[in-house]
Amino acid sequence: MSNGSAFFLPPGKAQGLANYPHARILPTNPTSRTIHVSGTSSRRGDGTWDGVTEHADGTLTLDIRQQSAAVLRNIDTIIRGATDGKGSIKNVVDATVFLTDLTGCYQGMNEEWNKVWPNREDAPARTTIGVKELPNPRLLVEIKCTAICEW
Q: At what angle do helices 64-82 and 102-116 cross, to 10 degrees?
A: 50
Please give the average per-residue pLDDT across 26-50, as a whole number.
94
Handedness of CA 10, 15, 19, 24 (dihedral sign): negative
Q: Taking the model in full, what pTM does it have?
A: 0.94
Query: What is the CB-side half-sphere exposure of residue 138 using CA atoms within 13 A?
Result: 18
Confidence band, pLDDT 50/70/90 cuts, at residue 18: confident
Q: What is the CATH number of domain 5-150?
A: 3.30.1330.40
Contact 11, 23 (CB under 8 A): no
User: Which segment of 6-20, 57-71, 86-100, 124-138 scores lowest on mean pLDDT?
Assistant: 6-20
> How many other C-beta atoms lie within 10 A of the C-beta of residue 18?
6
